[in-house]
Amino acid sequence: MIVLGVETTTKINSLALLKNEKILDETAFCPEDASKEIFISLSNFLKRNKISLNEIGLFAVSLGPGSWTGIRIGISLVKGFATALKKKAIGIYSSDILAEAVRDKENKAICTLIKAEKALIYRAFYQNGKTTQIKKVSLEDLIKEIEKPTIFIGDALFIYGKEIKEKLGNFASFADSGLWRSKASFLARLGYRQFREGRKLDLRDLRPFYGETQYLTTEQQQKKIATTNCSNFTN
């Protein structure tokens, strides 16, 4: 199966193709007019790889949180193609995509940080297959939650990374800065893995996620993992 990952929720958009669990290619671009450039970039990307839309077996798209406009563009694109071509599609939250990038360190506490409005941050914690809700917090509240060494990843680090390091010291380590924005390659991998694990797919589930705390992360929704309080990650 060929999987197309579509990530449009960050400042740098990306597309990725995965086949048999291996990334075939990935491209990134900074759109000035995302609604137009996504189609041009996708067309050129598929031509470069000599793959047609009909050959795509699964579309994977980021649901957010992130750029409000970008979220809507990506979901609309994938919904349109999946409906017209009668293909499968899966939506993944941005926090889950970021956590996938450091999945090899999942035995350690991981905190994803996505910048929000008004000096706030969307954060979620991951460790040993468990995760918390995506929650909008202030930097001050985030610092209070950290009571053990934690790996941070996400675009909010471009703004708050220095202050987090100053306040948390050795309790804070950062993923490589090249991973701070979610990428289509990790989206495609995670989407395909969840599909293989039997996640039920429904186009109606492809809804924009703007960071409301009542929503659970993809892992919680699909695998019925109980919501875990932050204390479980800090004890």
pLDDT at 221: 45
**Residue 151 pLDDT greater than 50, yes or no:** yes
pLDDT at 75: 97
Query: Which amino acid, residue 146?
Result: I
From the CB of residue 47, how many other CB atoms can be counted at a distance below 10 Å?
A: 10
pTM recorded for the entire structure:
0.89
* pLDDT band, residue 212 (cuts 50/70/90): low
DSSP letters along 175-228, please? --GGGSS--HHHHHHHHHHHHHTT----GGG-------TTSPPHHHHHH-PPP-
Mean pLDDT to the nearest integer, 8-21 = 95
Q: What residue segments make up the domains of the chain, in order of their start?
A: 2-94+181-211
CA–CA gap between residue 89 and residue 201 (Å, rounded): 7
Residues 6+ apart with CB under 8 A from 83: 203
Is residue 222 within 8 A of residue 233, CB to CB? The reply is no
pLDDT by residue (tens digit) across 52-108?
A: 999 999 999 999 999 999 999 999 999 999 999 999 999 999 999 999 999 887 688
Fold designation for 2-94+181-211:
Nucleotidyltransferase; domain 5 (3.30.420)
